[in-house]
Chains A and B, each alone.
Chain A
Amino acid sequence: MSTAANETPRSRGKAPAGERIADWADGRLGIYSLAKANMRKIFPDHWSFMLGEVCMYSFIIIILTGVYLTLFFHPSMNEVQYHGSYVPLQGQLMSEAFNSTLHISFDVRGGLLMRQIHHWAALIFLAGMFAHMMRVFFTGAFRKPREVNWLFGFLLFVLGMFTGFTGYSLPDDLLSGTGVRFMEGAILSVPIVGTYLSFFLFGGEFPGHDFVARFYSIHILLLPGIMLGLMVGHLILVFYHKHTQFAGPGKTEKNVVGMPLLPVYMAKAGGFFFLVFGVIAAIAAVAQINPIWAMGPYRPDQVSTGAQPDWYMGFSEGLIRFMPGWEINLWGHTLVLGVFIPLVIFPLVLVAIAVYPFIESWVTGDKSEHHILDRPRNAPTRTGLGVAWMTLYLTLLVGGGNDLWATHFHLSINAVTWFVRIAFFVGPVLAFIVTKRICLGLQRRDREKVLHGRETGIIKRLPHGEFIEVHEPLSQEQLHTLTAHHQYEPAEIGPVVDENGVERKVGTSEKLRAKLSSAYYSEDSQIPKPTVDEYKEITSGHGHH
């Protein structure tokens, strides 16, 4: 990092240029105080801590390529005739939005690449946020003091979904138009105000002439603006809280162990931006995405089979596909439950995961800060709930692609739909039970390892003929790492009679809390970690057997 300026001897009297610029800036912006706190900030190294970076960088890539696309895209629904270079559409009537997207794809040099990078980066952005969110969930990184940041991240994910939806609807192609029509139908199902909402959104009847222009300002200004603010807030909080870390020797709740921002993390994180961009550019070079020319311009009377949204909207597609067609007609009004129930469950699926941190902290009653991450096995109930939620999500994704499951695995689409209907209720329960069992098994294995050492795979024959496997005692580092986690006691309902002998009323919420707490932390839900005494007794008692 040494520059020519740095090598100038100080004794000449004049400070190097870089230093003088920094001094100038400090006098006006106070950058030294900022740098003092942050320049050598420590970041722990773990690949899963970089999932958030994947999201941030793909978001930046989306903004860069998105700005480029706005230079050529015309957000207008005026009908024009196509005269560009894609032969199979020549002479077709289409909206200006579709026409200009074709222009970007076929007539602007590098335009197709920018479109493909933009769209691939969007899919990866959402996938990255999902994976990042799951990482945070399963390691318990959402606990105090990071609950607010969890919500920021959650909002980013939800807003990302809608930014994606408004984005892929802009080209006004046959596939996205079908998606917009679905949205119109969903809005119409809202009781009392649905029809008005729909007319206000589309400027009249579907599809009207306005929705592309309206989606455009939502897609390029409103939603990304909010997301940018949330992302900056998210980052500030990451800096402020300092990063979490996994348990290990030398790592405590009161420190953070890793590499300093300058230079190592600067190089790694900065380099990672280029790596992410490079990988996405290469994907955009070899894999086609959203070939709107093949789908054709939108017409409300045309459709293609296999009409699905991008993956992050897929679970809502699953909800709507497996729902039975319930409709209630009463007193001259229609309650379209077949559409409205999925519309209500859609946010609930998301909210379920968003509020989890608050439920868990209420159950544990724990007010302390947590900076050491949990291994998922050490929080079996949480891990089980997380896997149950993911099972629900995946089941809905399967439901959203039921026609492709049918064609590619030679199944009946009706059977796939029925499978999803049942799995929606049964799958998460099974997943919870199985996951919890697996976690407890892994906890038992850790306990064995601590108490009896690591299995070496070496079989020894004792003098009297018995075969044993040699166990190698763990090092102190390993012993510490495997026993560092905190185990809660199930909360109990306090004494029903207070010290004056007066009967106290036990509220339902207190009862519920005690019940949940025992579900979380009773002996069925966690294996007590080995104590020092147990360890000493075994190690001093009868050797390594």
Chain B
Amino acid sequence: MKKLSARRRHPLAAVVVLLLALAATGGLYAAFAPAGKAQADDSAQSLTIKEGKKLYEVGCASCHGTGGQGSSDGPSLVGVGAAAVDFQVGTGRMPAATSQGAQVPRKKVVYNQTQIDQLATYIASLGAGPNVPTKEQYGPGGADIAKGGELFRTNCAQCHNFTGKGGALTKGKFAPSLEGVAPKHIYEAMQTGPQNMPSFPDTTLSSKNKKDIIAYLNAVNGDKTENPGGLELGGLGPVSEGLFAWIFGLGALITVAVWVAARTAKAKKS
């Protein structure tokens, strides 16, 4: 300790502190930077409504009511369709821990795909709604990426940011990042409009349009997406760029300036 306190007054102490601060900032950035989460997506065959109903009564009925007619804790599920169930349960949003809070976030998936399919089939039997899309609908085949980009900027970027990094809505609600979200779930979200997101039904945003959007997202925010210029800095635009310029740009230059202006070590005093 004594050594440390003696060195506290060393002329280079400020540099060391600066370096530590830079390292800490970098660490913080790494900690806060959005981490991708991949999700397995197997399709399974449908099971009987009965089995879905069993699952529903155990895991969902307490909020959504028996028979899916809704309660004060959860909306009615009649007519939301299989796609909504597949999205909500498949992204881990449902079952929600609580009906409080600004919105239900994405989290660890509780059911396996077979169970999700059973639940979806059961809910679909309560009233007609959008079906779970097929691989053909959301797959990359025949998609026009550039058209998808234009559609994305018109319909999606205002909430989800230009490459789907997410953004703020009112009163603590937010449009989530689309990084690592399965194409099927993106398709379903557009179809069903979960929570506060508006829906984009096939009548106004055709199935082909949705396919294009998914292909564009995969091109600009997928695992293999190239950021030609280097670090993406969160893909947030000028705010993170400005922070980077101050901390690492000017920070590095000041470190260099400290070296340039510092006294060279003297021979004696040893």
In angstroms, how far is the closest chain B Cβ from the Cβ of A140? 20
In the bound complex, do residue B149 and residue A88 qualify as a contact, i.e. CB atoms below 8 Å apart? yes
In angstroms, how far is the closest chain B Cβ from the Cβ of A152? 21
Q: Which of A131, A275, A286, A403 contacts B260 (CB 8 A)?
A: A275
User: Per-residue CB proximity of A320-332 to B under 8 Å, as 1/0?
Assistant: 0000000000000
The answer to the question of B16 belonging to the interface, with a C-beta cut-off of 8 Å to chain A, is no
A128-B253 CB under 8 A given contacts A88-B216, A404-B239: yes
A403-B153 CB under 8 A given contacts A308-B238, A310-B241: no
Q: Which of B146, B159, B171, B256 contacts A275 (CB 8 A)?
A: B256
The answer to the question of A434 belonging to the interface, with a C-beta cut-off of 8 Å to chain B, is no
Contact segment of A119-127, A181-189, A460-468: A119-127
The answer to the question of B167 belonging to the interface, with a C-beta cut-off of 8 Å to chain A, is yes
In the bound complex, do residue A279 and residue B171 qualify as a contact, i.e. CB atoms below 8 Å apart? no
In the bound complex, do residue B157 and residue A89 qualify as a contact, i.e. CB atoms below 8 Å apart? no
In angstroms, how far is the closest chain A Cβ from the Cβ of B18? 11
In the bound complex, do residue A88 and residue B146 qualify as a contact, i.e. CB atoms below 8 Å apart? yes
In the bound complex, do residue B146 and residue A89 qualify as a contact, i.e. CB atoms below 8 Å apart? yes
The answer to the question of A271 belonging to the interface, with a C-beta cut-off of 8 Å to chain B, is yes
In angstroms, how far is the closest chain A Cβ from the Cβ of B137? 21
In the bound complex, do residue B257 and residue A304 qualify as a contact, i.e. CB atoms below 8 Å apart? no
Q: CA of A406 to CA of B236 in the docked complex: distance in angstroms? A: 13
In angstroms, how far is the closest chain A Cβ from the Cβ of B246? 5
Q: 8 Å CB contacts to A: which residues of B152-169?
A: 153-154, 157-163, 165-169
In the bound complex, do residue B172 and residue A406 qualify as a contact, i.e. CB atoms below 8 Å apart? yes
The answer to the question of A46 belonging to the interface, with a C-beta cut-off of 8 Å to chain B, is yes
A88-B219 CB under 8 A given contacts A287-B231, A305-B167, A403-B168: yes
The answer to the question of A380 belonging to the interface, with a C-beta cut-off of 8 Å to chain B, is no
User: 27 A-B Cβ contacts within 8 A?
Assistant: A47-B254, A47-B258, A88-B220, A90-B145, A92-B150, A116-B230, A127-B245, A127-B246, A275-B260, A290-B241, A294-B162, A299-B153, A302-B153, A303-B158, A304-B161, A305-B157, A305-B160, A305-B161, A311-B245, A402-B168, A407-B166, A407-B167, A407-B168, A407-B174, A410-B172, A412-B171, A414-B170
Q: Which of B172, B230, B232, B246 contacts A311 (CB 8 A)?
A: B246
Q: CA of A288 to CA of B163 in the docked complex: distance in angstroms? A: 14
Closest to B241 in A: A289
In angstroms, how far is the closest chain A Cβ from the Cβ of B154? 6
Secondary structure at the B interface, as helix, strand, loop or mixed, is helix
In the bound complex, do residue B249 and residue A127 qualify as a contact, i.e. CB atoms below 8 Å apart? yes
In the bound complex, do residue B252 and residue A279 qualify as a contact, i.e. CB atoms below 8 Å apart? yes
Q: CA of A466 to CA of B160 in the docked complex: distance in angstroms? A: 68
In the bound complex, do residue B237 and residue A287 qualify as a contact, i.e. CB atoms below 8 Å apart? no
The answer to the question of A337 belonging to the interface, with a C-beta cut-off of 8 Å to chain B, is no
Closest to A292 in B: B162
Q: Which of A116, A127, A131, A410 contacts B229 (CB 8 A)?
A: A116
Q: CA of A371 to CA of B242 in the docked complex: distance in angstroms? A: 34
Secondary structure at the A interface, as helix, strand, loop or mixed, is helix
In the bound complex, do residue B260 and residue A289 qualify as a contact, i.e. CB atoms below 8 Å apart? no
A124-B253 CB under 8 A given contacts A50-B261, A404-B239, A406-B168: yes
7 nearest A-B pairs in the assembled complex, by CB-CB distance: A311-B242, A288-B229, A305-B167, A123-B245, A412-B172, A304-B162, A403-B168
In angstroms, how far is the closest chain A Cβ from the Cβ of B130? 26
The answer to the question of A45 belonging to the interface, with a C-beta cut-off of 8 Å to chain B, is yes
Residues of B within 8 A of A296 (CB): 149-150, 153, 162
In the bound complex, do residue B231 and residue A412 qualify as a contact, i.e. CB atoms below 8 Å apart? no
Q: CA of A303 to CA of B256 in the docked complex: distance in angstroms? A: 40
The answer to the question of A49 belonging to the interface, with a C-beta cut-off of 8 Å to chain B, is yes
Residues of B within 8 A of A128 (CB): 250, 253
Number of A-B contacts (CB under 8 A): 207
Closest to A276 in B: B253
Q: CA of A296 to CA of B258 in the docked complex: distance in angstroms? A: 41
Residues of B within 8 A of A (CB): 2, 5-6, 32, 102, 145-150, 153-154, 157-163, 165-172, 174-175, 216, 219-220, 227-233, 235-239, 241-246, 248-250, 252-254, 256-258, 260-263
Residues of B within 8 A of A304 (CB): 153, 157-158, 161-162, 237
Q: CA of A272 to CA of B260 in the docked complex: distance in angstroms? A: 8
Q: CA of A287 to CA of B150 in the docked complex: distance in angstroms? A: 26
In the bound complex, do residue B175 and residue A286 qualify as a contact, i.e. CB atoms below 8 Å apart? no
A288-B228 CB under 8 A given contacts A283-B249, A305-B175, A413-B170: yes
The answer to the question of A87 belonging to the interface, with a C-beta cut-off of 8 Å to chain B, is yes
In the bound complex, do residue B154 and residue A305 qualify as a contact, i.e. CB atoms below 8 Å apart? no
- Most chain B CB within 10 A, of A123, A175, A301, is at A123
Residues of B within 8 A of A48 (CB): 257
In angstroms, how far is the closest chain A Cβ from the Cβ of B39? 22
A305-B149 CB under 8 A given contacts A279-B252, A296-B162: no
In the bound complex, do residue B260 and residue A291 qualify as a contact, i.e. CB atoms below 8 Å apart? no
Closest to A269 in B: B260
The answer to the question of A543 belonging to the interface, with a C-beta cut-off of 8 Å to chain B, is no
In the bound complex, do residue A47 and residue B146 qualify as a contact, i.e. CB atoms below 8 Å apart? no
Residues of A within 8 A of B228 (CB): 105-106, 112, 288, 291
In angstroms, how far is the closest chain B Cβ from the Cβ of A275? 5
Q: CA of A484 to CA of B146 in the docked complex: distance in angstroms? A: 68
Closest to A313 in B: B238
Given A175-B237, A303-B158, 11 more contacts at CB 8 Å?
A47-B261, A47-B262, A112-B228, A124-B245, A124-B253, A285-B230, A287-B233, A288-B232, A304-B153, A305-B159, A414-B171
Q: Which of B6, B149, B167, B242 contacts A306 (CB 8 A)?
A: B167
The answer to the question of A75 belonging to the interface, with a C-beta cut-off of 8 Å to chain B, is no
Residues of A within 8 A of B5 (CB): 457
In angstroms, how far is the closest chain B Cβ from the Cβ of A352? 22
In angstroms, how far is the closest chain A Cβ from the Cβ of B230? 4
A271-B239 CB under 8 A given contacts A403-B168, A407-B168: no
In the bound complex, do residue B166 and residue A288 qualify as a contact, i.e. CB atoms below 8 Å apart? no
Closest to A406 in B: B168
In the bound complex, do residue A413 and residue B260 qualify as a contact, i.e. CB atoms below 8 Å apart? no
Residues of B within 8 A of A10 (CB): none
Residues of B within 8 A of A47 (CB): 254, 257-258, 260-262
In the bound complex, do residue A413 and residue B169 qualify as a contact, i.e. CB atoms below 8 Å apart? yes
In the bound complex, do residue A291 and residue B229 qualify as a contact, i.e. CB atoms below 8 Å apart? yes
Residues of B within 8 A of A174 (CB): 153, 157, 162
The answer to the question of A227 belonging to the interface, with a C-beta cut-off of 8 Å to chain B, is no
